[in-house]
């Protein structure tokens, strides 16, 4: 069967204690393991493998890698051959490179993001078990997220130079790992530039998505909730816990998902996402969003542009790769209370007057509004 689903995301966090508090008290995950290097491993209640999020201590926010689980060890050998035949170098990491995890294939997507594939991770089960299970366990905290659902990666897109890592990643995933394209945004004259794609291996509308931007980065990781009511309750939890909400509960046109975007204390964007929307099938025709309806696709109700949503994300690269000048919302600078930090960057040339240039690239931790 090959790739089954997203397996885990490894995130960089700047304050481990605050990050653990966020992922446990807001998302409702449980810490299942810690290692000697200070990495913390967590799982959601409805996941049966040992972990789906790794928090690694760092002086900046961002993502180390995203890993997908394949069905069988032999799938790894077959996929390795296909990825190499495509022209991408694959490194095989031995069992135990990550605790409780079997051997992994490690490679770079055309966008330079690190992706890993593995077949084996320690089974720990769920609290409700597998025999006559209750529908949910007691003592759920926060949003009570079911599972890590998908990741959205920002990929370099520059029509002037012809760079389109969204299209390259999409082609790579389809040809080497049998992902199929579910939705896409086409922009530019004649709508020929593939500016964003949503791809799946399961029957959910996406297991991974790519959106074009000035630099490679991580836009968000997303956690699954059952219903619109759960999304609303998750927002209540966020307000109670003084989490920086980016976009309050609404619906995507793209994928039909019901959503909230918010930031962890380091500035990594999270999403809670409900509603399967529809069953994605391999023979489902691809849904296309045109440039004039892009924002209706992103936020279906208002269809209004929210520039911060596409311009603010954590970069994948180190400081030396940052553009000269970071931009962030001026409102956030002015109203800062010093309680939250965000690792933000944009191309900085937004005509939106709420943006202003910052000349320092020495520290990427920009203060944003506390609440
Ligand atoms: C989703 C989703 C962007 C659209 C995001 C959509 C960043 O996150 O889950 O469908 O433009
Ligand atoms: Fe999402």
Residue 8 bears catalytic tag: no
- Do 266 and 337 lie in one domain? The reply is no
Residue with CA closest to ligand 1 atom 9: 257
130 inside domain: no
The reply to whether ligand 1 has any atom less than 6 angstroms from the CB of 251 is: no
- 211 C-beta closer than 6 A to ligand 1: yes
CA distances from 233 to 171, 259, 268 (A): 38, 12, 21
**150 part of the active site:** yes
Residues 6+ apart with CB under 8 A from 229: none
Virtual torsion, Cα 300, 302, 305, 309, nearest 10 deg: -60
Q: Are residues 182 and 328 in the same domain?
A: no
Q: Which two tokens stand for residue 239?
A: 């307000």
Ligand nearest, relative to CA of residue 219: 1
What is the whole-number distance in angstroms between the Cα of residue 9 and the centre of ligand 1? Answer: 17
Active-site residue, selected from the candidate residues 183, 258, 271, 341 = 271
Residue 206 falls in the annotated catalytic set: yes
Does residue 86 lie in a domain region?
A: yes
How many CB atoms neighbour CB 314 within 10 A?
Answer: 26
Three-state SS for 182?
Answer: strand
Query: Could you tell me if the CB of 255 is within 6 A of ligand 1?
Result: yes
Q: Is residue 127 part of a domain?
A: no
Q: Domain check: are 227 and 361 in the same one?
A: no
Q: Check whether residue 221 and residue 279 sit in a common domain.
A: yes
| Residue entry with tokens 């949910």 | 136
Q: What is the Rg, in whole angstroms, of the alpha carbon atoms belonging to the chain?
A: 20
Catalytic residue chosen out of the listed positions 23, 206, 341, 355: 206
Q: How far is the CA of 254 from the centre of ligand 1 (A)?
A: 7
Say if residue 99 is in the same domain as residue 172. yes
Using the mean position of ligand 1's atoms as its centre, give its distance from the Cα of residue 31 in Å.
27
Question: Which ligand approaches the C-alpha of residue 256 most closely?
Answer: 1
Number of domains in the chain: 2
Tokens 């240039």 found at:
357
Same domain, 269 and 156: yes
pLDDT recorded at residue 324:
27
Judgement on whether residues 207 and 305 belong to the same structural domain of the protein? yes
Region at 326 (left for phi over 0; alpha for psi -120 to 50; beta for the rest): beta
Give the ligand with the smallest distance to the CA of 218.
Answer: 1
Residue 49 in any domain: the answer is yes
Same domain, 274 and 360: no
Q: pLDDT per residue over 305-324, tens digit each?
A: 988 888 888 876 533 333 32
For atom 5 of ligand 1, which residue has the closest CA?
Answer: 298
Q: Which of 220, 258, 300, 341 is catalytic?
A: 220
Q: How many other CB atoms are found less than 10 A from the CB of residue 53? A: 24
Structure tokens at 53: 């999020």
- Output the CA 127–ligand 1 centroid distance in Å: 31
CATH number of the domain that residue 233 is part of: 3.10.180.10
Q: Which atom of ligand 1 is nearest to the CA of 298?
A: 4
Domain match, 297 and 215 both:
yes
- 105/200 same-domain check: yes
Residues 6+ apart with CB under 8 A from 83: 90, 105, 107, 176, 177
Range of the structural domain that residue 156 is part of: 3-121+144-310
26 touches 100 (CB < 8 A)? no
> Is the Cβ atom of 167 under 6 angstroms away from ligand 1?
no
Nearest atom (ligand 1) to Cα of 220: 8
What pLDDT score was predicted for residue 68?
Answer: 98
What CA–CA distance (Å, rounded) separates 155 from 234? 29
Q: Is the CB of 219 under 6 A from ligand 1?
A: yes
Residues 239 and 326 in one domain: no
The rounded average pLDDT for each run of 10 residues, N- to C-terminus, in the chain (371 residues) is 97 96 98 97 98 95 96 98 98 98 98 98 97 96 98 95 97 98 96 97 96 93 97 97 94 95 94 90 95 95 89 64 33 28 35 25 28 25
**224 Rama sector, left if φ>0, alpha if ψ -120 to 50, beta otherwise:** beta
Ligand 1 centroid vs 298 CA: distance in angstroms?
Answer: 6
Helix (H) or strand (E) holding 17: helix 16-21
Is 252 known to be catalytic? yes
Is 113 tagged catalytic?
A: no
Of 20, 95, 11, whose CA–CA distance to 56 is shortest? Answer: 11
Ligand 2 centroid–CA 260 distance in Å is 9
Question: 350 and 211, same structural domain?
Answer: no
Following DSSP, what letter does each residue of 259-309 receive, concatenated?
EEEEE-TTS-EEEEEE---S---TTSPPEEEEGGGHHHHHSTTT----HHH
Evaluate whether residue 139 is within a structural domain. no
pLDDT at 314 (0 to 100): 86
| CB-ligand 1 contact for 70 (6 Å cutoff) | no
């Amino acid at each position: 069967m090959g790739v089954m689903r997203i397996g885990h995301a490894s995130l960089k966090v700047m304050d481990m204690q605050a990050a653990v508090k966020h992922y446990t008290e807001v998302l409702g995950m449980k810490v299942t393991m810690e290692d000697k290097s200070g990495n913390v491993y967590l799982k959601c209640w409805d996941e049966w493998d040992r972990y789906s999020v790794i928090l690694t201590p760092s002086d900046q926010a961002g993502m180390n890698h995203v890993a997908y689980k394949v069905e069988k060890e032999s799938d790894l050998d077959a996929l390795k051959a296909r990825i190499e035949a495509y022209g991408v170098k694959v490194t095989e990491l031995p069992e135990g490179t990550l605790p409780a995890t079997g051997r992994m294939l490690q490679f770079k997507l055309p966008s330079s993001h690190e992706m890993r594939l593995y077949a084996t991770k320690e089974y720990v089960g769920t609290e409700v078990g597998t025999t006559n299970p209750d529908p949910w366990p007691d003592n759920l905290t926060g949003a009570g997220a079911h599972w890590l659902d998908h990741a959205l990666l920002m990929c370099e897109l520059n029509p002037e130079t012809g760079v389109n890592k969204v299209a390259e990643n999409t082609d790579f995933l389809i040809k080497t790992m049998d992902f199929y394209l579910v939705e896409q945004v086409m922009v530019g004259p004649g709508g020929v530039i593939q500016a964003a794609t949503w791809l799946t291996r399961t029957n959910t509308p996406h297991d991974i998505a790519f959106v074009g931007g000035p630099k490679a980065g991580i836009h968000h990781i997303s956690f699954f909730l059952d219903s619109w009511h759960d999304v609303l309750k998750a927002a209540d939890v966020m307000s109670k816990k003084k989490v920086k909400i980016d976009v309050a509960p609404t619906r995507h046109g793209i994928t039909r998902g019901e959503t909230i975007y918010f930031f962890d204390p380091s500035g990594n964007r999270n999403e809670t996402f409900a509603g399967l929307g529809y069953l994605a099938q391999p023979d489902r025709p691809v849904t296309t969003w045109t440039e004039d309806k892009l924002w209706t696709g992103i936020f279906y109700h208002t269809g209004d542009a929210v520039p911060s949503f596409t311009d603010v994300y954590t970069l994948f690269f180190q400081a030396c790769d940052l553009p000269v000048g970071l931009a962030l919302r001026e409102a956030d600078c002015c109203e800062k209370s010093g309680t939250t930090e965000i690792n933000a960057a944009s191309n900085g040339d937004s005509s939106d007057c709420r943006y202003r240039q910052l000349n320092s690239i020495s520290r990427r931790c920009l203060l944003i509004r506390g609440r």
